[in-house]
């Protein structure tokens, strides 16, 4: 008798601008999803399909959807503080976000390096209450003002 896989608990959402990295992480971890993710069985845990079905989904639509269950958003945007609408959406919906510095994260490989160097801190942030935005680089994390 084959036992059904246990359901995965998603905790991380990788934005459309880092799909290469997202697919690597989602292949290794059952708690990572991305727009268009059909779901997968990872380490005997079944991850459901992502509620964001396409990478073209506007920020105004996906940010509240991802903030609702408390997932941590991982994105790439070194100038996040200048994008006032996105900062306002994070603040208004209580979202949790880590923005990879594009200078340190110009390719999937470099993005993976930043995420792996900061992974323990990112996991701790996933447990914290939002709203917040942290900028991540190879050398560390820096808090972004939501004002």
Report the 10 Å Cβ neighbour count for 140.
11
Q: How confident is the model over 13-42, as pLDDT tens digits?
A: 999 999 999 999 999 999 999 999 999 999
Query: What is the overall mean pLDDT for the chain?
Result: 94
Peptide bond before 131: cis, by omega within 30 degrees of 0? yes
Is residue 141 within a helix (H) or strand (E), and if so which, with residue range? strand 140-144
Where the chain has pLDDT below 50, the residues are: none
Ordered by start, the domain boundaries in the chain are 11-144
């Amino acid at each position: 008798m084959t036992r059904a896989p246990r359901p995965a608990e998603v905790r991380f959402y990788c934005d459309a601008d880092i799909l290469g990295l997202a697919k690597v992480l989602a292949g290794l971890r059952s708690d990572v999803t991305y727009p268009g993710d059909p779901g997968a069985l990872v380490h005997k845990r079944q991850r459901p399909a992502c509620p964001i079905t396409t990478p073209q989904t506007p920020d105004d639509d996906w940010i509240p959807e991802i903030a609702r269950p408390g997932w941590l958003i991982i994105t790439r945007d070194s100038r996040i503080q200048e994008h006032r609408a996105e900062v306002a959406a994070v603040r208004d919906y209580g979202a949790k976000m880590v923005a990879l510095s594009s200078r340190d994260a110009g390719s999937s490989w470099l993005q993976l390096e930043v995420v792996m160097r900061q992974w323990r801190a990112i996991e701790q942030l996933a447990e914290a209450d939002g709203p917040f935005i942290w900028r991540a680089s190879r050398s560390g994390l820096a808090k972004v003002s939501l004002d």
